[in-house]
Copies of this chain bind each other. A is one copy, B any other.
């Protein structure tokens, strides 16, 4: 990546070793730039969660550095990292700490000294932004998986971070709710927030990401646009991944050469294109037949 802007988040981590000696990730350099959606892909245990949890100093490198908006995060200065980088955890249950949804969304605000009317206002806005306003009085613990995730997202949105990190935002959601969450991620991005997410759903990554990074064995093994990465078989194979289904279909139908579709709509367009050409051809053929 070769950009003029300063990255919002800049992580250099020689290694992160868990207390039991497992090296969760090593030799990683990772930056997040303003206004982009980055998807982190990789097999189970590749180190995605480990990397993401470094971005807001939940975990710290054995050796390395986290730089937020140009300033390194010193020991004891983690609050700044956490304020700039909002985090929605992989496990929705673990995210919710308060007895009601409203309290939960207020929780972070209060920690940063926002209180009273303003806090309530911002909490409500954040909930509305993800269509979860009606859940305000519910007990987070008893929401459905999808609802929990929306509330978790709202709790982070309320803090108006510059970057939002989502660890497997679609895990356990039904297709309708996945679509809802995906739409909200796009909304958040349009509002100028950078998003970093991990996912096993490559179709989803193809839909939302501007940039895709592939991890394997605790390391980033490749980065690029979805089109670059999803047609790079060798790279995907290193990381235990298969191309998303539009790519596979395009391949096996022989449509992969020209347009290289990565999303469903691109694939449909490519097919339609192909058949328009065919239909034209057929019409001509029909014409000459008559």
Contacts and interface: CB of A to CB of B under 8 A. Distances in A.
A95 interface: no
A265 interface: yes
Contacts of A10: none
A27 to B, nearest CB: 19
A108 interface: no
A222 interface: no
Nearest to A50: B144
A90 B173 CA distance: 12
Interface string A42-83: 111110010000000000000000000000000000000000
Interface stretch (A113-121, A158-166, A188-196, A266-274): A266-274
The 10 nearest A-B residue pairs measured at CB: A44-B146, A285-B285, A278-B278, A252-B268, A253-B271, A176-B240, A45-B144, A288-B288, A43-B174, A281-B282
Interface in A245-268: 245-246, 248-249, 252-255, 264-265, 267-268
- Name the prevailing secondary structure of the A interface residues: helix
A289 B200 CA distance: 49
Contacts of A173: 44, 200
Interface in A74-133: 90
A22 interface: yes
Nearest to A172: B171
Contacts of A240: 174-177
Contacts of A44: 144-147, 172-174, 177
Contacts of A20: 139, 142
Interface in A1-53: 18, 20, 22, 42-46, 49
A275 interface: yes
Given A18-B142, A45-B143, A174 B282 contact: no
8 contacts: A20-B139, A44-B145, A171-B172, A175-B240, A176-B242, A203-B245, A245-B264, A281-B285
